[in-house]
């Protein structure tokens, strides 16, 4: 049971969601991948962004781009099979290549680096769209001048990545579109402070439901949303075995 005085939401998350909601509203739609890309670019004053979904742990198809250079950078990596987007999915860690002129990147991506610089990219930042072992995609950005990404902007980028991950998993293939409240009706998704129980419950649900982790995670969120309960609280109940979910949703609830 969450105690009322334990902080459950990170205030920065609410600010970032506010930007997303405002951008979406200005375009007359619910928050989408396009908004994530646009806000990522404007909040960090970068040149452009692209978002690719993953398949089999590799970047697969591009779901959003803000400009031509980003589109070309995304396609370059898919064609060459190398680059920051591949690295982030393999290592499950961001890549902050603040200066593509640094010899480290010529060594790491001998084909991608010169091609990217030819397109005008001098810095590339990529973050994985992941939740533990669940790999949904990658969000990449470039800048036409070298230079680091400040901590605050990096934090915002991570928050945007979390939103994008939830969106991609909310419509996980093989599991039909799951209404988990990931902005499908304009409501901020439950991006409360991280709790280990959420991850443990996800693992437990892979067994209870007999589904892959991505689907288990989507079902957990969907249940919390449908019951209008905090994700952490539902996860706590599952871990404490006060609650089980079932393959047949009609049987959800109870230990």
Positions in the binding site for other proteins (CB under 8 A): 3, 5-7, 10-13, 91-98, 102, 104, 127-128, 130-134, 148-149, 151-152, 154-155, 158-159, 162, 193-196, 199-208, 212-213, 239, 241
Tokens of 123: 């810095």
**Measured over all CA atoms, what is the biggest interatomic distance in the chain, rounded to whole angstroms?**
59
Q: Closest separation between CB of residue 48 and other proteins, Å?
A: 20
Q: Closest separation between CB of residue 49 and other proteins, Å?
A: 18
Q: Using the minimum distance from each CB to other proteins, give the nearer residue, 36 or 65.
A: 36
Q: Closest separation between CB of residue 93 and other proteins, Å?
A: 4
Q: Closest separation between CB of residue 165 and other proteins, Å?
A: 11
DSSP states of the chain: ---TTS--S-HHHHHHHHHHHHHHHHTTS---HHHHHHHHHHHHT-SEEEEEEEETTEEEEEEEESSHHHHHHHHHHHHHT-SHHHHHHHHTS-EEES-TTSHHHHHH-TTHHHHHHHTT-SEEEEEEEEETTEEEEEEEEEESS--PPPHHHHHHHHHHHHHHHHHHHHT-TTS------SSTTSPPP--PSP-HHHHHHHHHHHHHHT--HHHHHHHHHHHHHHTT--HHHHHHHHHTTS----SSGGG----
Q: Using the minimum distance from each CB to other proteins, give the nearer residue, 120 or 203.
A: 203
Q: Closest separation between CB of residue 196 and other proteins, Å?
A: 5
Tokens of 83: 């680059």
Q: Closest separation between CB of residue 161 and other proteins, Å?
A: 10
- Rounded CA gap, 34 and 180, in Å? 19
Q: Using the minimum distance from each CB to other proteins, give the nearer residue, 65 or 105.
A: 105
Q: Closest separation between CB of residue 68 and other proteins, Å?
A: 27
Q: Using the minimum distance from each CB to other proteins, give the nearer residue, 169 or 213.
A: 213
Q: Using the minimum distance from each CB to other proteins, give the nearer residue, 186 or 210.
A: 210
Tokens of 188: 């901020």
Q: Using the minimum distance from each CB to other proteins, give the nearer residue, 115 or 133.
A: 133
Q: Using the minimum distance from each CB to other proteins, give the nearer residue, 11 or 248.
A: 11
């Amino acid at each position: 049971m969450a105690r009322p005085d334990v902080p459950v939401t990170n205030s920065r998350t609410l600010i970032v969601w506010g930007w997303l909601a405002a951008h979406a509203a200005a375009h007359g739609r619910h928050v989408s991948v396009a908004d994530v890309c646009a806000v990522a670019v404007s909040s960090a004053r970068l040149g452009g962004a692209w978002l690719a979904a993953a398949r089999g742990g590799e970047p697969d198809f591009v779901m959003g781009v803000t400009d031509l250079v980003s589109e070309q950078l995304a396609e370059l990596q898919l064609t060459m099979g190398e680059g920051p987007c591949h690295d982030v999915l393999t290592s499950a860690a961001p890549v902050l290549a603040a200066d593509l002129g640094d010899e480290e990147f010529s060594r790491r991506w001998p084909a991608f680096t010169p091609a990217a610089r030819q397109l005008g990219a001098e810095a590339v930042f990529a973050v994985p769209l992941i939740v533990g072992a669940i790999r949904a995609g990658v969000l990449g950005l470039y800048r036409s001048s070298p230079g680091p990404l400040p901590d605050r902007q990096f934090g915002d980028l991570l928050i945007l990545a979390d939103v994008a991950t939830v969106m991609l998993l909310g419509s996980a293939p093989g599991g039909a579109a799951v209404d988990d409240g990931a902005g499908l009706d304009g409501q901020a998704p439950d991006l409360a402070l991280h709790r280990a129980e959420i991850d443990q419950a996800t693992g437990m649900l892979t067994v209870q439901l007999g589904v892959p982790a991505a689907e288990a995670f989507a079902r957990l969120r969907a249940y919390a949303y449908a019951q209008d309960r905090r994700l952490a609280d539902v996860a706590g109940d599952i871990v404490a075995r006060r609650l089980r979910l079932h393959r047949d949703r009609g049987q959800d609830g109870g230990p």
